[in-house]
Amino acid sequence: MPRNRQTWRAVAQRQALPIVQIASAVVIAAALALAGCTAAGAGEHRAKSASDQIDTEHLFGFTQGSDIGQAGETELEADSTGRFGKREGSYNAAATSLEAKFTLSDSVLIAPTATIAYYDIVGVPGLDDRRQGRLQDLSLEMRYRLLNRERAPFGLTFLIDPKWGFADEFSGARARQYGAEFRIAADRELVRDRLYAALNLLYIPEVTRVYETNSTARESTFGAYLAVTGQVRPGLFLGAEARYLEHFEGVALNHFAGRAFYLGPTLYAGLGGRWWLSASWNFQVSGRAPDVPGALDLTNFERYQAKLRIGVSF
């Protein structure tokens, strides 16, 4: 993830941990409310319906659903993420992950992934100008679904995605990077066959050694995502998501470096057969980096972030 390599220890002690605790409490409270809002009907037997055929994993944009597909299913997916805009200069970065997903059982999915990235950076303070593509990283995503939303009050899936990187995700410089994403994804069908909601918590520790500067950065990111989407016609969903992100120096959320809050619309469409497409566009509506003026954090994060996925299952 993008980083600010300065340390603001006083700010961290005063502000960072309370923010994480508050955000976590809000997200957990929302999850409990989501689980309990229709708990009275959770024990009722449900016949198979169109909703049982909907895979919620990609319905919500950056936010992920708890579904992992049917046992024995294979899915090929291209997942592209764009990050655009800094306070000064021109900053554009796009990364595309090519994934092969294998659902080994009703509870377990694995997905080996390769990511390529392209950087177009001109006149951004602290970054070298760069127009080039790179092999970004290799990773192996693993998911375990603890609760199936078709049989429980809500769906709940745990994700771990360790990676081995070859370029700095922020600057595009050659680097050796080790990290992992840990995510909890919960979702629920709010209105039968019509309205769905999802909640994510994530933690991303990373260690990056940049060859050009012979420097090593240890950092981490905390995130809380909430999304809602509705089916406006068969196979077409429109929705919105809110994402709260905090960046820290140190792999254990040690020293607060900045925060950003994103909002944006989402779209999911079945393309016929087993093909599908999802898209999301998020813009930073508020943020803060210590000792940097302005109502946004454009040091650690971008002004806009976008995601486009297309996939097919077998």
pLDDT confidence of residue 272:
85
Place of tokens 């990373």: 206
pLDDT in tens, 36-82: 443 333 343 333 344 457 899 999 999 999 999 999 999 999 999 99
CA–CA distance, 87 with 303 (Å, rounded to integer): 8
pLDDT confidence of residue 76:
98
Whether the Cβ atoms of residue 201 and residue 179 lie closer than 8 Å to each other: no
pLDDT confidence of residue 53:
72
Ranges of each domain in the chain? 9-42+58-313
pLDDT confidence of residue 109:
98
Residue 56, Cα to own-chain centre: how many angstroms? 15
- Sequence-ordered list of residues with C-beta below 8 angstroms from that of 274, at least 6 positions apart, any chain: 312, 313, 314
CATH number of 9-42+58-313: 2.40.160.40
Cβ neighbours, 10 Å, residue 8: 19
pLDDT along the chain (314 residues), means of 10: 42 40 43 41 39 83 97 97 97 98 98 98 96 97 97 97 97 97 98 96 98 95 98 97 98 97 98 94 97 93 98 95
Nearest one of 202, 199, 201 to 228, comparing CA atoms: 199
CA–CA distance, 172 with 193 (Å, rounded to integer): 43
Q: Which residues pair with 163 in a beta bridge?
A: 139, 179
Length of the chain: 314
pTM: 0.84
